[in-house]
């Protein structure tokens, strides 16, 4: 409550999330939590989205090493987790206890959130694996057909195909 003249004014915790001109990444409390941390740990997806659109660092870690994704996992907010993942939050960030958001969701009993994060992790690992295969083995990336065309199949008059090296197929 703030005293303004003779009237007491109720200050909602969300008010500080919407302060015009405030630095969205500036720590707001002794624990180093920024407005985006506060939005995630309160499960306020709308305010979280507003902060992200205002340029908030969604991977900023507080004094406990926790990013907003950890906060959302601890309260079981699937909506906030989905928003953070869609915004490319790092799901493998570890807090000072070495826990990821997925670990926290499991330990807090939020199974739906934990399974969601597990699925996201597996999907990201598969994409990463495919990209590393692609960079080292160009045959798996669609370049092989182009190389085959370099041999140039030419139709022979008897219906057999002749390769550019002169051999018949």
Do 61 and 109 lie in one domain? The reply is: yes
Do 166 and 103 lie in one domain? The reply is: no
pLDDT band at 149 (very low <50, low <70, confident <90, very high): very low
Do 158 and 77 lie in one domain? The reply is: no
**C-beta of residue 40 within 8 angstroms of C-beta of residue 69:** yes
Do 155 and 86 lie in one domain? The reply is: no
Report how many domains make up the chain.
2
Do 131 and 149 lie in one domain? The reply is: no
Q: Evaluate if residue 90 carries a pLDDT over 50.
A: yes
Q: What are phi and psi of 70, to 5 degrees?
A: -65, -40
Do 36 and 73 lie in one domain? The reply is: yes
Which residues are bridge partners to 162 per DSSP? 154, 168
pLDDT in tens, 42-71: 999 999 999 999 999 999 999 999 999 999
Q: Compute the chain's Rg from CA coordinates.
A: 27
Do 130 and 152 lie in one domain? The reply is: no
Do 80 and 126 lie in one domain? The reply is: yes
Do 107 and 167 lie in one domain? The reply is: no
Q: Evaluate if residue 142 carries a pLDDT over 50.
A: no
Do 37 and 86 lie in one domain? The reply is: yes
* Domain span holding position 111: 2-136
Do 130 and 95 lie in one domain? The reply is: yes
Which residues are bridge partners to 8 per DSSP? 3
Q: What's the whole-number mean pLDDT along residues 104-117?
A: 97
Do 149 and 88 lie in one domain? The reply is: no
């Amino acid at each position: 409550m703030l005293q303004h003249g003779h009237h007491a004014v109720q200050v909602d915790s969300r008010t500080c999330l919407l302060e015009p001109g405030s630095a969205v990444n500036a720590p707001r409390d002794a624990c180093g939590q920024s407005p985006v941390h506060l939005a995630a740990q309160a499960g306020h997806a709308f305010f979280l989205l507003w902060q992200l659109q205002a340029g908030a660092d969604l991977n900023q870690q507080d004094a406990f090493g926790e990013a907003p994704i950890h906060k959302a996992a601890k309260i079981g907010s699937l909506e906030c987790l989905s928003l953070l993942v869609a915004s490319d939050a790092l799901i493998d960030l570890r807090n000072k206890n070495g826990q990821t958001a997925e670990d926290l969701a499991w330990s807090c009993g939020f199974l739906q959130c934990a399974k969601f994060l597990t699925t996201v992790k597996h999907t990201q690992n598969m994409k990463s694996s495919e990209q590393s295969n692609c960079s080292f083995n160009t045959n798996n990336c669609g370049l092989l057909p182009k190389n085959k065309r370099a041999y140039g199949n030419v139709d022979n008059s008897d219906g057999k195909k002749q390769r550019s090296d002169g051999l018949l197929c």
